């Protein structure tokens, strides 16, 4: 099981995750991608829909909220009580059916699912490894290092970092990839421009040979 998290919201988690699972399934690998909780569903849950299509499965979120906010916040506003046990149970159920499962989070690793349970807690509870999606722009070094550090403090393994090269054009885009590799020599950092990069990414993370 892998948790695909971001250094922020809007960094391309769904784009990367759907590309990876599509590639695996084309190679007849029993893989799936799933968004357990999605916010900003007005009316459709677009991320979950894209992941379902890429996975060839109809997997709807357990919790879907209209407000585009952190799940804990959206749940309060919309009068919903989120059950961590239900989320954990569903994740375990899905993981038993597939060889590779990507669970896509909402926003970053410390986004609260409930007021006492974050996506990092979910990864720790289920012994997931984390794949970090970072957007190639100014600020990505700090955001990525903070995400990695948060995982390390909790004993959660970071499997790799995907640097999404489709981003804002500033001076840092020329140096961010090299800088991240230099700062994090023990973690694979892979550039990602389009679905054709899926193989290199999966190979770097030792998910294909």
Q: Which residues belong to the annotated binding site for Mg(2+)?
A: 14, 47, 104
Q: Both tokens of residue 156? A: 């959660």
Count how many residues are written for the chain. Answer: 209
Question: Do residues 144 and 175 make contact, with C-beta atoms less than 8 angstroms apart?
Answer: no
Query: End-to-end distance of the chain based on CA atoms, in angstroms?
Result: 18
Question: Do residues 202 and 23 make contact, with C-beta atoms less than 8 angstroms apart?
Answer: yes
Residue with tokens 């599509």: 22
Active site residues per annotation: 35
Classify the C-alpha dihedral 86-125-58-71 as positive or negative.
positive
Binding residue numbers:
10-15, 39, 47, 104-107, 164-165
Q: Which residues contact 70 (CB under 8 A, 6 or more apart)?
A: 39, 106, 107, 111, 112
Q: Which residues contact 126 (CB under 8 A, 6 or more apart)?
A: 1, 88, 91, 92, 95
Q: How many CB atoms lie within 10 A of CB 137?
A: 18
- E runs forming strands in 40-97: 63-65
């Amino acid at each position: 099981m892998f948790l695909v998290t971001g250094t922020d919201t809007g960094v391309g988690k769904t784009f990367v995750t759907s590309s990876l699972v599509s590639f695996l399934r084309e190679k007849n690998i029993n893989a799936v991608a799933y968004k357990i909780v999605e916010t900003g569903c007005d009316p459709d849950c677009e991320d979950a829909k894209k992941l379902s299509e890429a996975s060839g499965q109809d997997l709807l979120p357990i919790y879907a909220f209209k407000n585009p906010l952190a799940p804990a916040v959206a749940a309060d506003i919309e009068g919903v009580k989120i059950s961590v046990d239900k989320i954990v149970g569903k994740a375990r159920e899905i993981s038993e059916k597939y060889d590779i499962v990507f669970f896509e989070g909402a926003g970053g690793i410390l986004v609260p699912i409930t007021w006492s349970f974050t996506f990092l807690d979910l990864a720790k509870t289920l012994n997931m490894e984390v794949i970090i999606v970072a957007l190639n722009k100014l600020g990505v070094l700090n955001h990525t290092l903070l995400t990695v550090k948060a995982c390390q403090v909790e004993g959660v393994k970071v499997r790799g970092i995907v640097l999404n090269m489709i981003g804002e054009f500033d001076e840092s885009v020329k140096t961010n990839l090299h800088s991240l590799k230099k700062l994090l020599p023990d973690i694979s950092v892979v550039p990602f421009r389009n679905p054709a990069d899926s193989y290199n990414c999966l190979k770097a993370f030792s998910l294909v040979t």
